[in-house]
Amino acid sequence: MSSRPDIIDLALAEDVGAGDVTVRHFTDAARRGVAVIVAREAGVLAGADVAAEVFRRVDATLDVACPREDGAELRPGDEVLRVHGALGSLLTGERTALNFLQRLSGVATLTRRYVEAIAGTGCRLLDTRKTTPGFRLLEKAAVRAGGGTNHRLGLHDMVMVKDNHLAGGLTGPALAAGVAAARAAGLRVEVEADTVEQALAFFAIPGIDVVLLDNMPVAEMRRAVAARPAGVQLEASGGITLANIREVAGTGVDFVSIGALTHSARALDLSLELTADA
């Protein structure tokens, strides 16, 4: 097992450092209390288990309860997490726990809005690799909590030939050979097309699983959908927002990928309320 600190350890080391000096000098070590994290606005919960683990890492004696699971709809005033124990430990863990919860719940909330926008079309919403460094597993879990589907995790688990790969001199025969080799290695293969004509050329190459229609007008997407062979899926990406995603999904593409799910999600408004035991 790796001895490398995980994301929670790194976050606590960043915030707590050698110790919480405010707690050290201004908190009664023997005093106990209850901390409750509540929603201040409507949204979708994600990261509750991560926030709970933050408090446990700060103080293993804390009693942590999560009344709601990730994916739950939140209304203002809903309780997200309840922690009982030493006041100093509750205060030390507060900001790190909230940072995880607010960020991940923001991703889940934005994802849910996009998922609801394409409900009934048969099209699935994908995330991308445009994630916060170090947070990829957590943010992709938040996308799932919001009802989205994860695309590839990284460069290692799926082939995706983009325009910059093609610009590097990858010719038709070389591309076909690469596709065959990747499929022989058990890898799923996706290729990016900037035009319908390019998509049609990719349709003729055996072994391509998905063709990405990048920044194409809706009319061109429909042409690609009508021409695709059996067994090839289509993904639309680029310039897609909540205002136009339903129209894009209605073209018949299988997937729509949105980088904004993880790179532009606004943190959900949550707060911690602390009460000292009598």
| Active-site amino acid positions | 95, 130, 162, 192, 214
Euclidean distance between the first and final Cα of the chain, in Å?
44
CB burial of residue 46 (10 Å; 0-12, 13-18, 19+): buried
Asked whether 122 and 97 are in contact (CB, 8 A), the reply is: no
- Element holding 24 (H helix, E strand): helix 21-26
- What the block records as the tokens of 214 is 């990048």
Asked whether 103 and 44 are in contact (CB, 8 A), the reply is: no
Asked whether 101 and 52 are in contact (CB, 8 A), the reply is: no
Distance between CA atoms of 139 and 261, rounded to whole angstroms? 9
Distance of alpha carbon 35 from its chain centroid, rounded?
Answer: 27
